[in-house]
């Protein structure tokens, strides 16, 4: 067997009830939610009982998904499953920072709360939209973006899926241009144009917040959204830069595979990253770890 990667899901995967089964079954998972409630009272209640509208607000989404993601990873760890490397998609990278020991769980949770506040504020002050483009290569998407003002590829997810940030006024025309080029585009139900210059103020605010936080060396290999490579250099700059720059997810998973990863476990919410892996690779086994049943099934699979 090759190496194991834990990957932490991002915004968009949230749903009411997330994390509740693990909270009830795993002391390690419960400890994460209890920590979150001590810092931000009501986080567990939002995860377990929040409305869809409430959970799609960035200021709520980020701390809630962080808690569910990290709780799942701690539950896996509790069962003796340890990764060789980690990465997180967008806000998931903050959970990965905690799991890799760069920040304590509480420090990372406070950071993701501030990140959510700053990105929510930037989204309201600089309104934008995001659209997922399918059936076109990243290069084709980049070419269409170049035809529109303030339109940027922001999530390089797989060879056939790229997410774009643009203005609300451009969104429909951009989707029409994609269709004309033979692709398919869908405007996403998000509250801002993330990982783009629309988020410049949020990135600056996050840099200021991190000035007095000490970052430790990762205990295991930790991949950066910004570079798609293992963390090196100025860690705070990597965290700041990913807020206003593209998530290079396809490159991250390709680099993991090149380093011997053959088992990818999506910890926490949803199965987006698992599905992206299935569409991109035929030599990496993707799993999810969202419920106690998922984890028991995973343990059985890893023994075989």
Catalytic positions are 90, 195
Counting every residue, how long is the chain?
A: 304
> What Cα–Cα distance (Å) separates residue 86 from each residue in 50, 245, 264?
28, 20, 9
Whether the CB-CB separation of 117 and 37 falls below 8 Å is answered with no
With H, G, I as helix, E, B as strand and everything else as coil, classify residue 236: helix
Dihedrals φ, ψ of 233, to 5°? 80, -135
**Could you give the angle at the alpha carbon of 192 between the alpha carbons of 187 and 196, nearest 5°?**
95
CA distance 197 to 201: 9
List beta partners, residue 22: none
Positive or negative, the CA dihedral 258, 262, 266, 270 is positive
């Amino acid at each position: 067997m090759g190496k194991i990667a834990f990957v932490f899901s991002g915004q968009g995967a949230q749903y009411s009830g997330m994390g509740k089964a693990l909270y009830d079954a795993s002391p390690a998972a419960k400890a994460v939610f209890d920590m979150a409630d001590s810092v931000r009272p009501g986080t567990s209640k939002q995860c377990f009982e929040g409305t869809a509208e409430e959970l799609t607000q960035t200021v709520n989404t980020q701390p809630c998904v962080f808690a569910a993601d990290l709780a799942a990873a701690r539950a896996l760890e509790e069962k003796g499953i340890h990764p060789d490397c980690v990465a997180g998609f967008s806000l998931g990278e903050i959970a990965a920072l905690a799991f890799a020991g760069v920040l304590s769980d509480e420090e990372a949770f406070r950071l993701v709360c501030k990140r959510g506040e700053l990105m929510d504020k930037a989204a309201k002050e600089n309104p934008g939209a995001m659209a997922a483009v399918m059936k076109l290569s990243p290069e084709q998407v980049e070419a269409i973006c170049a035809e529109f003002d303030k339109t940027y590829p922001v999530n390089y997810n797989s060879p056939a899926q790229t997410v774009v940030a643009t203005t609300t006024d451009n969104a429909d025309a951009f989707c029409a241009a994609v269709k004309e080029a033979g692709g398919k585009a869908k405007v996403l139900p998000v509250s801002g144009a993330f990982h783009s210059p629309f988020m410049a103020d949020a990135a600056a605010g996050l840099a200021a917040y991190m000035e007095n936080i000490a970052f430790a060396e990762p205990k295991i290999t930790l991949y950066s959204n910004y570079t798609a490579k293992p963390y090196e250099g100025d860690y705070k700059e990597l965290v700041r830069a990913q807020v206003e720059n593209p998530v290079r997810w396809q490159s991250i998973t390709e680099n993991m595979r090149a380093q011997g990863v053959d088992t990818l476990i999506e910890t926490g919410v949803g199965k987006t990253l698992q599905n992206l892996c299935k569409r991109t690779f035929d030599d990496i086994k993707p799993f999810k770890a969202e419920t106690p049943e998922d984890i028991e099934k995973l343990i059985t699979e890893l023994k075989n």
